[in-house]
Structure 1
């Protein structure tokens, strides 16, 4: 069972990493903007996932809309969590590259530690502090290559990449009360559909870009199915069979895949100190995954014990 969970976690992280690379290819070669792709990706993956869940669970899929508190949470989750994380990530890919965007989004766990410390008015542990300092050092090296007078990363890509990390933090924290009484896949499905619907108010998916090739449409379908729907399902399956700490460690595969594919397929050139920065940022996921369960259990349930 544990082996199956590890396989699901690895496949999920790998598919997410590939999704970013494919999006980068679309942005470079086709008249496709990131906002439209985000709307298509979230709307259709949410619809497909909810239809599949309805076939297995029936009307229970709609129970999340029966209580006002749950409705508020799922709307917040869909817009502030899923949509913010997805749209800012793809905008970072659009203005920069998939490797940088994925690495910056990996700051999410560090931001979670900081936000929980502020919310509970408790000082972070010594390990948390070291993780934060290492993450900040990693970001500095990634965007400057060690030269404080020069940015080697597009400033717009940097902004959206860091914002996507905040989106990832919101994506993790907001649905916690919902996950205690709802299936994770149901929460994800509605989050995707709510976020996709919100995106359609600004960038409707029926305004299809002109002159999109058949190859590009295949990539779009792949991003919807294999880059969104499957990895979310696989990640939930891995959580059901593994400790959350182990699942968090497996998530480090995503930035590694994105970085390697960016170098080999997209010919992205990384300098020495940028690579060191990437290693620093990824290492913080290993460090933070150790106390993360403790933070959720102790700081939220009994903040005065810390």
Structure 2
């Protein structure tokens, strides 16, 4: 349980560190995603041995798994990583993280449409909470203006949609192969694809003041907020039910909101906090009902 809490907290803090890198140093979301995925993916594959993985090339020798892995990497993991970073770059880590957590609500909508069934009462309640929370996060309680730029809201919603795809598309893959292998290779493939647009050797943007502090922030995003966080989270899956890990992972948006407000001075008003709480309530409602 402690591993999930620490991992989720590191995820949340890494979002704030990424915001500082992009808005303070001019690092582009593309370059940050490229380096984060490539470095963390390779290290996660290496860490697979510690997690008990013996054959890290196995998914590539199976045709069906190979196709699933590529779709999972490009449509899921790369999509959610880039859209999340773009939402942070245009807005802030707190709002971006809460919006991303709308993913489970989109998964519910997909399941209802896919199986052509009536939504259950708790699903309806969760969707109402999710929509109300999104409105409060976007407007800050005022329907006459947006509390964050429209682009940040749009990318945040895209990150939720891609997170939903990531969840659905990766389900069978993660059941068949060790998560460290599936996620590790997906990061490498996604990072390699993004490297076409943003080579890791070219920071890009207006990053002219790269110093020790920026290097430390980047290292934390890649190592603490990606490698360590994923390793702790994946290791915990052996001891906790998925519903329990979902509940504990709610620490991520709380850590992002607190660090963005206290460290970077991001304004997070009462209505926005209520919106974030509504989104998390929707996630908790869906998670506990699927326990």
TM-score over 0.5 for the pair: yes
Corresponding residue of 2:85: 90
Q: Deviation at 1:55? A: 8.0
Scaled by the length of structure 1, the TM-score of the pair is 0.90
Per-residue displacement from partner, 1:72-114 (whole Å, max 9, x unpaired)? 1000111111101110000000000000000100111111111
Residues 6-45 of structure 1 aligned to structure 2 (within 5 Å): 6-45=1-40
Corresponding residue of 1:245: 243
Per-residue displacement from partner, 1:132-173 (whole Å, max 9, x unpaired)? 011101111111123222211210000100100111112211
For the residue of structure 2 that corresponds to 1:149, the secondary structure is coil
Corresponding residue of 2:167: 172
Per-residue displacement from partner, 1:22-43 (whole Å, max 9, x unpaired)? 0011112213111100000001
Q: Deviation at 1:267? A: 0.8
CA RMSD of aligned residues (A): 1.6
- Stretches (4+) displaced over 6 A: 55-59
Corresponding residue of 2:219: 221
Given the alignment, which residue of 226, 250, 258 partners 1:260?
A: 258
Corresponding residue of 1:285: 283
- Give aligned pairs, total: 288
Closer/same/farther in 2, CA of residues 48 and 82 from structure 1, 3 Å limit: same
Given the alignment, which residue of 190, 194, 197 partners 1:199?
A: 194
Corresponding residue of 1:144: 139
Q: Deviation at 1:56? A: 7.7
Tell me the distance in 1 between the aligned counterparts of 2:25 and 2:140: 31
Scaled by the length of structure 2, the TM-score of the pair is 0.95
Tell me the distance in 1 between the aligned counterparts of 2:269 and 2:221: 29
Residues 92-111 of structure 1 aligned to structure 2 (within 5 Å): 92-111=87-106
Residues 155-170 of structure 1 aligned to structure 2 (within 5 Å): 155-170=150-165
Per-residue displacement from partner, 1:195-215 (whole Å, max 9, x unpaired)? 111111111112134531122
Corresponding residue of 1:304: none
Tell me the distance in 2 between the aligned counterparts of 1:208 and 1:262: 24
Tell me the distance in 2 between the aligned counterparts of 1:56 and 1:228: 16
For the residue of structure 2 that corresponds to 1:180, the secondary structure is helix
Given the alignment, which residue of 181, 186, 189 partners 1:186?
A: 181
For the residue of structure 1 that corresponds to 2:237, the secondary structure is helix
Closer/same/farther in 2, CA of residues 49 and 149 from structure 1, 3 Å limit: same
Tell me the distance in 2 between the aligned counterparts of 1:109 and 1:57: 29
Corresponding residue of 1:70: 65
Tell me the distance in 2 between the aligned counterparts of 1:190 and 1:125: 36
